[in-house]
Amino acid sequence: MKQNRKELLAQFRSIAANPRKAMEDYQKQTGKGAIGIMPVYSPEELVHATGFLPMGLWGGHCPVSKARVYLPPFACSIMQQVMELECDGVYDDLAAVVFSVPCDTLKCMSQKWKGKAPALVFTHPQNRGLESANRFLEEEYSILKKKLEKITGVTITNAALENSIQIYNENRAVMREFSRLAAEYPQFISAVDRHAVFKSRQFLEKSRHTAMVQCLIEAVRAEEPKPWDGKRVIVTGILAEPDGLLELFDELKLAIVADDLAQESRQIRVDVPEGNEAPLYRLARVWQNMYGCSLATDTKKKHGPMLVDMVRKNEADAVIVAMMKFCDPEEWDYPIYRQQFEEAGIRHLMIEVDQEITALGQARTRLQSFAEIL
């Protein structure tokens, strides 16, 4: 029996809120475990090809105390959360944790990792335009592949990897379609729901997630669109959480018509290229092709123009910058694209994201005033 939009969205919300259940269900169904994937970019396809479930580790919303022993107070909010959860043993059931280390905080985290799950660390080269960078990253992935094979006891064949690449490219394509749909139907897909659909892809096997999103797209398209009388915004940053923050968007009728969040659309922006080259090499090319992200060095500073373009294409009224507290790469990028916004006449607002915080009074005041100005 076909499910309707509301039922499907409730499922996405439940998965996004219960990653442990998603992991345990997967274990029951397949007999295989899970491997943690630290933010922001990793070749998840390699993990998928072992049959283990890649689980995104994007922090939580708990009070931080034990993490203070290991991280300075100015480490970003998301890593404070990850460290706290690690100290609480939340990640102990993972078979391993894959780390890319494009920022200083992640470098520290990878060195301080001391949970039961071993850390598998690799490096993204920052001189991304060079062919030697692709070759270097291919070699890093080859080392990671061997470590994964040893831990999981599974040989990752080229055929299995090609299959995983295809599954991931399909998922990215369907998520891009979903993002466009959410912009078309903001009256049916709230900001909280939109986020749940994105976040659940961190915890579900990707072909299953794709099938669920396809059902949702079909269910939404079957409904009669209604006129939207609110404003349209683009959100950029690492992530926009907690749900309470997104509920403010819904309450103030600020529809998220596109995003540039590391947890959301940056994950689906670039496909693994097709071609006859080896799959590891093509996986490495994804990093070279990445754009519009503070973690992927761009000496031409095209992040701002990309956002301006997104505003125009999506007929958005403004950009809201969800600034992760103490995230150096994002804070470093901000003054540059802020100036580019000013020059292009793009309205914008910066709000701070602190995963530990429970009171959203300040964000409410700022968003409310901004919505009134718009």
**Residues near ligand SF4 (CB under 6 A):** 39-40, 76, 78-79, 103, 105-106, 238, 295, 324, 327-330
Place of tokens 């923050």: 245
Please, what is the Cα angle at 116 between 115 and 121, to 5 degrees?
70
Q: In the complex with ligand SF4, which residue's Cβ is closer, 103 or 246?
A: 103
Radius of gyration of the chain (CA): 20
**Between the CA of residue 335 and those of 259, 328, 331, 341, 348, what are the distances in Å?**
19, 12, 8, 10, 12
Q: Which amino acid, residue 153?
A: G
Q: Which amino acid, residue 38?
A: M
Residues in Cβ contact with 312 at an 8 Å cutoff, skipping those fewer than 6 apart: none
Q: In the complex with ligand SF4, which residue's Cβ is closer, 78 or 156?
A: 78
Q: In the complex with ligand SF4, which residue's Cβ is closer, 75 or 192?
A: 75
Q: In the complex with ligand SF4, which residue's Cβ is closer, 52 or 334?
A: 334
Q: In the complex with ligand SF4, which residue's Cβ is closer, 99 or 188?
A: 99
Cβ 53 to ligand SF4 shortest distance, Å: 22
Q: Are 5 and 223 in contact (CB under 8 A)?
A: yes
Cβ 369 to ligand SF4 shortest distance, Å: 26
Q: Are 257 and 233 in contact (CB under 8 A)?
A: yes
DSSP string, 290-350: --S-TTS--TT--HHHHHHHHHHHTT-SEEEEEEETT-HHHHHHHHHHHHHHHHHT--EEE
Q: Distance between CA atoms of 331 and 352, rounded to whole angstroms?
A: 11
Closest to 205 (Cα-Cα) out of 177, 233, 168: 168
Q: In the complex with ligand SF4, which residue's Cβ is closer, 316 or 327?
A: 327
Q: In the complex with ligand SF4, which residue's Cβ is closer, 212 or 320?
A: 320
Cβ 278 to ligand SF4 shortest distance, Å: 29
* 352: its two tokens: 């701070």
Cβ 239 to ligand SF4 shortest distance, Å: 8
Cβ 89 to ligand SF4 shortest distance, Å: 21
Cβ 231 to ligand SF4 shortest distance, Å: 27
Q: Distance between CA atoms of 156 and 90, rounded to whole angstroms?
A: 28
Cβ 232 to ligand SF4 shortest distance, Å: 26
Cβ 79 to ligand SF4 shortest distance, Å: 5
Q: In the complex with ligand SF4, which residue's Cβ is closer, 33 or 54?
A: 54
Residues in Cβ contact with 149 at an 8 Å cutoff, skipping those fewer than 6 apart: 50, 155, 156
